Structure 1
Amino acid sequence: MNAEKTTPATKGPLVYRQSIWTRLTHWSWVICLFFLLFSGLQIFNAHPTLYIGQQSGFEFDNAILDIRAINTPEGPRGQTTVFGQTFDTTGVLGMSGSAVRPDFVAFPGAVTIPSFRDLATGRVVHFFFGWIFVGTMFVWFVASVLNGHIERDIIPKKGDWRGLPGDIWNHLRFRIQHGRRYSPLQKLTYFIVFVVLFPAIILTGLCMSPGMNAGFPWLLDLFGGRQTARTIHFIAMALLVLFFVVHVIMVVVSGPLNNLRSMITGRYRTSPGTPMQEKDKP
């Protein structure tokens, strides 16, 4: 009798990884953050300087970032100053556009909504998508508490901390494991995004509302003043942009089709050898 030949599985099991609430809020955030970023840069262009403290400096200098155009013997130039260090950023920041029709704004129109100077429209777009962002955050939080997503996939456990150094090393070498659940580095990253950056950017945004200042003056004190809150808001935005760039790179490196399927259908193809548990759905 011939022995049956067995061939090793080349694919891991297809598991249900993302709930409908995770998928809906994920794509809602993609849209919201797109408009919030570019409309936010339009608002920033109205006063392209960041400060630390209760107020901007006039008789003192408490600026940590300043982007502007300056006159030089060679003509106007774009200049960016960060913590007292000045850099020529002509063509990118402070001064952009063609030599015939230069645009003297901090961020060029290519990355602002609208693409021309219109602070009023920028504020309307920013506030509109800002409140959608807040509502989406509330829906995600309630759903994720009820279905265990936060406890299971966002908050790092003891085992995650032990496995974090090895997981970081694997990611640096682009050796990505496709598991049933998030890896230690993914958990830590999403914890920072959902528990630190999202609340920080929402609360500091509220600090810049005169109505919120009148109703909840303690919120300004919590962040060290209106100008400090504005600076934290900008830094949180920059960190979210960094997260987005790294996130897209990891999606491409680890399999774009598999990751997109996960965020559209909820189904995710795991690595070979991943055990098929009795219950797939989170």
Structure 2
Amino acid sequence: MALAEEHHQAKSAGRLVYRQSVWTRATHWIWAISLFFLLLSGLQIFNAHSTLYIGQQSGFAFDNSVLSMGAVRTPEGLAGRTTVLGDQFDTTGVFGVSGTSENPQVRGFPAALTLPSYRDLATGRVVHFFFAWMLVVTLLVWLIASLVNGHLRRDLAPTGRDLAHLPRDVADHARLRFHHTGKYNVLQKLSYCIVFFVLFPLIVLTGLTMSPGMDAAWPWLLDVFGGRQTARTIHFVAMMLLVAFFLVHIIMVFAAGPINELRSMITGWYRTDPETKRDSAS
């Protein structure tokens, strides 16, 4: 009786499967740390000139800005103004002008979102470049390890069967219904492929395009991205898309079960659904 009860409990709780290799777990956490510091230091760099352009050149003589965060004087005092594709918005207290009413600060992004919090472009650049190269090296390590151990082919490459299940997976996620099978679903595969093979390369290459030294060594980068200013804009958009991915990723972790998801990314072991549920889901 005791053995039968133990077997029933094990089935009802699901089983543990080894889901994440040590290479996947290590690079995952290094990316998380690197992207955190890249974001905050990148906003420090952006604040040095909080306007984005399309084209080779920028300045007062050109009308090619697509985003601008600044301040204007009003009868009530300084007010933040953010202009997006010609449309102007009052963003006082958030973008353009932040801080307190007694001590307003004219800056694109507020101090709480930059590293350092005070104006220090030199330190921001040092931090940004350090973690940028850490991101690049970690990405190369992950790519080599994933090719060698089969993680890329086995777990990330979407199959025809995966794509056929895409409408069902979208509907399940919209209703917060998750199937813990120990394998990535098609939405995870597609989003991870976009991050690894589109956004990461894009943000690295546009970052290199903004470097005069790299432009001298690889002048074709300027042609590919339509100039240094366009590369800066694409770099900013790619960063915002990575932030959006991160926010959705965190929401999904909590919705799907944070203990199970975190255990998977710390120890590698993941608990699947009970056998009856898993069988009915398939």
From 140, 156, 162, the counterpart of 1:138: 140
Residue type of the alignment partner of 1:116: Y
CA contact under 8 A between 2:210 and 2:228: conserved in structure 1?
yes
Say whether the 8 Å CA contact 2:42–2:124 is kept in structure 1: yes
Which residue of 2 is the match for residue 243 of structure 1?
Answer: 245
| AA matched with 1:130 | A
The range that moved more, 71-80 or 88-97, is: 71-80
* SS of alignment partner, residue 96 of structure 2: coil
Cα drift, residue 10 of structure 1: 1.6
TM-score, with length taken from structure 1: 0.93
Counterpart position of 1:69 = 71
Q: 1:54 deviation in Å?
A: 1.4
- Contact 2:78 2:104 survives alignment (8 Å): no
Which of residues 263, 266, 272 is equivalent to 1:264? 266
Which residue of 2 is the match for residue 87 of structure 1? 89
Q: Deviations over 1:175-201 (max 9, x none)?
A: 011122100000001011101001100
Letter in 1 for 2:189: K
Secondary structure of 2:252's counterpart equals: helix
Which residue among 81, 106, 109 is the counterpart of 2:108? 106
- The amino acid that maps onto 2:95 is L
Number of residue pairs matched? 272
- Residue 234 of structure 1 deviates from its aligned partner by 0.3
- Inter-partner Cα distance in structure 2 for 1:11 and 1:189: 29
**Deviation readout 1:118-155 (Å, 9 max, x if unpaired):** 00000000001111111000100000011111112222
2:12 is paired with a residue whose SS is coil
Per-residue CA deviation, residues 25-54 of structure 1 (Å, 9 max, x unaligned), is: 000001100100000000000010111111
Q: Equivalences for 1:217-236 in 2 at 5 Å?
A: 217-236=219-238
Q: Distance between the aligned counterparts of 1:141 and 1:220, measured in 2?
A: 26
Q: Give me the whole-angstrom Cα distance separating, in 1, the residues matched to 2:246 and 2:234.
A: 18
Task: Please say if 1:123 is aligned against 2:132.
Answer: no
Q: How does 1:178-257 map to 2 (within 5 A)?
A: 178-257=180-259
Q: Distance in 2 between matches of 1:147 and 1:236?
A: 29
**Displacement of 1:74 after TM fit?**
2.6
Shift of 1:11: 2.0
Q: Once the 2 structures are TM-superposed, how far is the Cα of residue 162 of structure 1 from its aligned partner?
A: 0.7
* Structure 1: stretches of 5+ with no match in the other structure: 276-282
Structure 1 residue matching 2:194: 3-state secondary structure: helix
Q: Deviations over 1:61-116 (max 9, x none)?
A: 11110001111233210010111111000000000111111111001111100000
- The percentage of counterpart residues that share the same residue type is 62
**Contact 2:70/2:97, CA 8 A, preserved across alignment:** yes
| Aligned-residue offset at 1:7 | 4.4
**RMSD, matched Cα:** 1.4
In the alignment, what sits opposite 1:280? Answer: none
Report the Cα distance in structure 2 between the residues aligned to 1:104 and 1:132, rounded to whole angstroms.
Answer: 32
Cα deviations across residues 155-178 of structure 1 (Å, max 9, x unaligned)? 211111111111011111110111
> Take 2:218 and 2:31, find their aligned partners in 1: how far apart are those partners?
27
TM-score, normalised to structure 2, is: 0.93
Secondary structure class of the residue paired with 1:59: coil
Partner of 1:26: 28
Letter in 2 for 1:79: R
1:245, 1:266 → 2: CA distance? Answer: 22
Please tell me the residue identity of whatever aligns with 1:238.
Answer: M
Distance (Å, rounded) in 2 between the aligned partners of 1:217 and 1:36? 25
Read off the aligned partner of 1:35 and give its amino acid letter.
Answer: F
2:183 alignment partner AA: R
Aligned counterpart, 1:279: none
Aligned residue identity for 2:103: R
| Structure 2: gaps spanning 5 or more residues | none
For 2:177, the equivalent position in structure 1 comes to: 175
C-alpha displacement of 1:60: 3.2
